[in-house]
Amino acid sequence: MMNSNKSKLLVFLCIAFISFIILTDRVEARPLDYNGGVMNEYTYEEVFFLESYPITFSGKPVVTERIAKDKITTTYRFNLTSKSGDKLVRNVVYETALDNRTDKGQTTSQTTVKSYTEKVTTTTNTIFTLDDIQFTHSTVIDHRAASDFYSGDLIATKRYIVTRPSIPLAADELITVHMTGRNVGYENFWGATETQIIDYEIIGNNGTTLVTSKVSDSTTKKLEYRQHDPTLSSFTGGHIIIVNSDMVSKYTYSYPYYLRNGSFDLSKQNTPTLQRLVVPKFLDLTNHWAKDSIEKLYSIGVFDDSSVKFMPGEIMTRYDFTIGVLKAVDTRVTESTTKKTSTKSIFKDVSAKDKGYMYIESAVNQGIINGFTAELFKPDDPLTRAQAAAVLVRALGMEGRAPASAYSKFADDRSIPAWARNSAYVANELGIIHGDANRRFNAQQHLTRAEASAMLQRFVDFLEDDLQKNYRDDVLNLN
């Protein structure tokens, strides 16, 4: 699992070499500690396997975090009990050192244990006391405009002394637990998922017990429409954001000595939260095929047109689409505090005083879109399908996912510009861009505002749904 401080790493994402930096209200997801447990706002549960049979513990832990420069300190305090009266007390302090590589757009972290105490007392009066722990966990986070992606690995060894006071002259036993694991995850405005898989090898006097825990914490934002039932009203309905979060865990275990094996499934769900959004009132969308996509994007602030007409058949400009992509992932642009903000525009045809200028500069500096020349952005030029594909895939940071000899499966693949071919391939594979009825990509075709809206909506759907399925369901084999 990635350490629980991972979500705090975004505090350190400041791109010092550009005039404006990107800040995003990212959703968080993070399994608790490294024991396969699940938690909601009321209860935490985990399964303990050092005894000759599994014990399920529950309770409500206390978690605190402290950030100081490039170090995060996280403290866990567990005071858990089982239904039969067994007790688990665990106090842990982790320290995470951060190395923010702004030149790479990445952050690496190294987590170690500062202090760790643990004591488990069973109803049979067997006491398991942690004697020593060796622990290391390292992660890498790739910061992209639309989402952060990360991966980590951990290795640990824990040694317990087992005493049985109720058995006269019973010798103490030594149990050693070897842990190896990995975690993967992503975070963006529309969702976050972290999945952790850890293998435990528990070695004691009665042989070796094997345990695997697979746990995933996931938070998603869903954009749904709510009908307004009264007929005598100024509007017929509107959209709402529903935030759901849950944890699922599966333990599989084998006690060869006792000829016992099996599995446990745990899950906890938090109470959803709701946010009503503004109601669009465009008069030119009645029965329009893209009405739903346009109104969704307007509700979340991608479009801020004050007019009562959206003009879906008009051409989408490079300027509006670029700003729309950044707003779709809730990117906020603020002046950098590490370098004096430039008062001069990077382009001659976009004023630094323009209300959307900061989005344009940030998008260019992040490599999401390029100017036509070093001096001209051409903000009012029509947006082509090739340009749209490139912008969306670069925002995800996935242009490198295309194979070396990428063939997009479009009938007119050879007419796709070389600079857009990888993006066209990836966008099609992700379901963000489709071909026409004749399987043509039509790279140079200009997008209407309706077509661009539908494309942006599929981009948001990918961030909402597809990433969660890939990072949780696919990794945990839930499909």
Q: What is the pLDDT of residue 406?
A: 67
* pLDDT, tens only, 107-166: 999 999 999 999 999 999 999 999 999 999 999 999 999 999 999 999 999 999 999 987
CA 277 vs. chain centroid, Å, equals: 23
Q: 128 and 157 in contact (C-beta within 8 Å)?
A: no
Q: What is the pLDDT of residue 335?
A: 46
Report d(CA 243, CA 222) in Å as an integer. 6
Q: Scan for tokens 């007929």, then name that residue.
A: 231
Q: Once rounded to an integer, what is the mean pLDDT over residues 203-215?
A: 96
Report d(CA 336, CA 212) in Å as an integer. 45
Report d(CA 369, CA 389) in Å as an integer. 11
Helices 357-365 and 318-328, interaxial angle, to 10°? 80
* Torsion sign (Cα): 15, 16, 22, 23: positive
List the alpha helices (DSSP H) in 304-448. Answer: 318-328, 357-365, 385-396, 418-429
Residue 309's pLDDT band, with cuts at 50, 70 and 90, is very high
Q: What is the pLDDT of residue 332?
A: 53
How many residues are given for the chain?
479
For every residue of 163-217, DSSP letters joined together read E-TTSTTPPPEEEEEEEEEEEEEEEETTEEEEEEEEEEEEEETTEEEEEEEEEEE
Q: What is the pLDDT of residue 167?
A: 79
* Torsion sign (Cα): 364, 366, 368, 370: positive
On average, the pLDDT of the chain sits at: 89
CA 328 vs. chain centroid, Å, equals: 16
Q: What is the pLDDT of residue 68?
A: 87
Q: Where are the domains of the chain?
A: 6-274, 278-465
What are φ and ψ of residue 27, in 5° steps? -75, 150
> Cβ–Cβ contacts within 10 Å for residue 305, how many?
14
Q: What is the pLDDT of residue 22?
A: 42
Residue 405's pLDDT band, with cuts at 50, 70 and 90, is confident
Residue 321's pLDDT band, with cuts at 50, 70 and 90, is very high
Q: 344 and 352 in contact (C-beta within 8 Å)?
A: yes
- Antiparallel, parallel or unpaired: β 260-269 and 237-255: antiparallel
Q: What is the pLDDT of residue 295?
A: 94
DSSP type of residue 473 = I
Q: Once rounded to an integer, what is the mean pLDDT over residues 206-219?
A: 96
Lowest-confidence region among 3-7, 78-82, 284-288? 3-7
Q: 427 and 389 in contact (C-beta within 8 Å)?
A: yes
The CA R_g of the chain, rounded to the nearest whole Å, is 26
Highest mean pLDDT pick, 1-5, 228-232, 464-468 = 464-468
Comparison of pLDDT for 342 and 300, the residue scoring more: 300
Residue 20's pLDDT band, with cuts at 50, 70 and 90, is very low
Q: What is the pLDDT of residue 214?
A: 97
Q: Say whether pLDDT at 358 is over 80.
A: yes
* pLDDT, tens only, 414-455: 999 999 999 999 999 999 999 999 999 999 999 999 999 999
Q: 43 and 56 in contact (C-beta within 8 Å)?
A: no
Residue 412's pLDDT band, with cuts at 50, 70 and 90, is very high
